[in-house]
């Protein structure tokens, strides 16, 4: 089937679903089936619409179809010495760029390089009417019309099928070093925030069990100078690469709690200076993003978790496992929820796309 025919087929299928009010479950490789509220509806497999449409390293832009495997994207970038700077997790070999965009997840580099949404330049969205709408573009700066493309990053497919996405890409850093320091969580949080306020080439951090692991990326001279400034033990390059890949893919034993121990994993997104959350047990915690992302393993009451996160200025997600009946994502303020409902109503009038995947009533 040609790509044109594939789009036509998607369109017919979506129109049919809209006309008959049949929910569709948008799915790429299924590597993140476990994320969000349970999915319902007939699967619409995006993998037939695959391939990199345009990639010009000197423009720093790549455009790909939704079903393109992440490994293909990253291989093409690596061949040109470039990368997706937000370091998206794949959660499986079959991960596609469409799923990456819909789930909106960013990896270890997020605190310093920015999130997925920061790198989205343009999209083509097929709405509930089966029409392809082009938002943004393939250029770095574009303020014509509302920035619907960034809105789609992390939208869990609730607004429609993202057919194509254009992303800003960046050169890989020339030099990279990983440091290990033995520090309490309290001390680590303080230092991480202090370092982030200094011109240091920090690119990732994680703390667990009294050990802070730090990654520095940039010009040779800048990395060397930061190593001297911060101190600690320099990790072997190969080991370091594995460490950050494991962290990103949640192969770290704490993050893999669902598989290893049958325990749910909570993600708390908080101001980076938030105090140590002693009540959840420090051995249950892994801190990333300079203190702004706290992973907590264990059975905790959803209400308590959410109230605490909110009081601290952030929010809590039941990231993996656990009882999804309590809601996976933090409930929205009523006025914000209304905007969500209105957007859903416009783009997906029959409510067919990934019904209930983000919030049960959307």
- Any contact of residue 176 with another protein (CB under 8 A)? no
How far apart, in whole angstroms, are the C-alpha atoms of residue 38 and residue 47? 21
For residue 7, the SS3 value is helix
- Any contact of residue 347 with another protein (CB under 8 A)? yes
- Any contact of residue 225 with another protein (CB under 8 A)? yes
* Closest approach of another protein to the CB of residue 218, in Å: 7
- Any contact of residue 199 with another protein (CB under 8 A)? yes
- Any contact of residue 326 with another protein (CB under 8 A)? no
How far apart, in whole angstroms, are the C-alpha atoms of residue 125 and residue 57? 25
Q: Among 13, 27, 32, 110, which residue interacts with another protein (rule: CB under 8 A)? A: 110
- Any contact of residue 83 with another protein (CB under 8 A)? no
* Closest approach of another protein to the CB of residue 278, in Å: 19
Q: Among 2, 21, 231, 238, which residue interacts with another protein (rule: CB under 8 A)? A: 2
- Any contact of residue 340 with another protein (CB under 8 A)? yes
DSSP H stretches of helix in the chain? 3-20, 70-79, 97-103, 110-113, 116-119, 148-152, 185-196, 220-230, 237-248, 257-261, 302-311, 334-347
- Any contact of residue 295 with another protein (CB under 8 A)? no
- Any contact of residue 276 with another protein (CB under 8 A)? no
- Cβ of 302: how many Cβ atoms within 10 Å? 19
Question: What backbone phi and psi angles, to 5 degrees, belong to 302?
Answer: -60, -40
- Any contact of residue 302 with another protein (CB under 8 A)? no
How far apart, in whole angstroms, are the C-alpha atoms of residue 262 and residue 265? 10
* Closest approach of another protein to the CB of residue 231, in Å: 17
Options 94-102, 133-141, 234-242, 246-254: segment touching another protein (CB under 8 A)? 133-141
- Any contact of residue 162 with another protein (CB under 8 A)? no
Q: Among 155, 178, 213, 250, which residue interacts with another protein (rule: CB under 8 A)? A: 155
- Any contact of residue 183 with another protein (CB under 8 A)? no
- Please, what sign has the CA dihedral across residues 262, 267, 272, 273? negative
Q: Among 3, 76, 258, 276, which residue interacts with another protein (rule: CB under 8 A)? A: 3
- Any contact of residue 134 with another protein (CB under 8 A)? yes
Nearest to 202 by CA among 239, 172, 236, 177: 177
* Closest approach of another protein to the CB of residue 353, in Å: 13
Q: Among 48, 92, 94, 138, which residue interacts with another protein (rule: CB under 8 A)? A: 138
Q: Among 157, 164, 255, 318, which residue interacts with another protein (rule: CB under 8 A)? A: 164
Q: Among 57, 92, 298, 351, which residue interacts with another protein (rule: CB under 8 A)? A: 57
Nearest to 349 by CA among 43, 16, 18, 15: 18
The first and second tokens of residue 334, run together, are 């009523």
* Closest approach of another protein to the CB of residue 241, in Å: 19
Q: Segment 228-267, which members bind another protein (CB under 8 A)?
A: none
How far apart, in whole angstroms, are the C-alpha atoms of residue 16 and residue 10? 10
Q: HSE, CB side, 13 Å, CA atoms: give it for residue 24.
A: 31
- Any contact of residue 273 with another protein (CB under 8 A)? yes
- Any contact of residue 348 with another protein (CB under 8 A)? no
How far apart, in whole angstroms, are the C-alpha atoms of residue 362 and residue 356? 5
- Any contact of residue 272 with another protein (CB under 8 A)? yes
Q: Pick between residue 25 and residue 306 the one whose CB is nearest to another protein.
A: 306
312-330 residues labelled b (16+ CB within 10 A) or e (exposed): bebbbbbbbbbeeeebbbb
């Amino acid at each position: 089937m040609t790509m044109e025919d594939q789009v036509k087929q998607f369109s017919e299928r979506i129109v049919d679903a809209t006309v008959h009010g049949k929910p569709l479950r948008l799915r790429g490789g299924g590597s993140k089936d476990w994320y969000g509220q349970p999915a319902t509806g007939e699967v619409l497999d995006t993998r037939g619409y695959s391939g990199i449409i345009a990639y010009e390293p000197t423009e720093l832009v790549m455009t790909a179809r939704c079903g393109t495997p992440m490994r293909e994207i990253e291989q093409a970038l690596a061949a040109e010495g470039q990368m997706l700077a937000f370091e998206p997790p794949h959660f499986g070999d079959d991960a596609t760029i469409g799923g990456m965009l819909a789930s909106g997840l960013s990896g270890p580099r997020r605190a310093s390089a920015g999130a997925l949404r920061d790198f989205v330049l343009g999209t083509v969205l097929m709405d509930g009417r089966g029409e392809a709408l082009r938002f943004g573009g393939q250029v770095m700066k574009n303020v014509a019309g509302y920035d619907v493309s960034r809105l789609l990053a992390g939208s869990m497919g609730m607004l429609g099928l993202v057919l194509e996405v254009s992303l800003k890409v960046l050169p890989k850093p020339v030099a990279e070093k990983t440091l290990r320091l033995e520090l309490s969580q309290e001390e680590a949080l303080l230092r991480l925030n202090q370092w982030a306020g200094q011109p240091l080439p920090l690119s990732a951090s994680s703390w667990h069990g009294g050990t802070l692991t730090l990654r520095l990326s940039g010009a040779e001279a800048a990395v060397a100078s930061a190593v001297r400034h911060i101190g600690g033990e320099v990790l072997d390059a190969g080991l370091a690469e594995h460490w950050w890949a494991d962290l990103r893919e949640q192969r770290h034993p704490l993050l893999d709690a669902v598989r290893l121990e049958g325990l749910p994993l909570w993600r708390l997104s908080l101001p980076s200076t938030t105090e140590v959350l002693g009540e959840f047990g420090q051995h249950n915690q892994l801190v990333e993003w300079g203190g702004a992302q706290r992973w907590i393993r264990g059975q905790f009451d959803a209400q308590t978790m959410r109230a605490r996160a909110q009081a601290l200025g952030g929010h809590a997600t039941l990231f993996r496992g656990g009882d999804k009946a309590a809601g996976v994502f933090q409930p929205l303020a009523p006025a914000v929820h209304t905007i969500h409902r209105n957007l859903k109503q416009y783009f997906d009038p029959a409510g067919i796309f990934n019904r209930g995947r983000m919030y049960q009533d959307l």
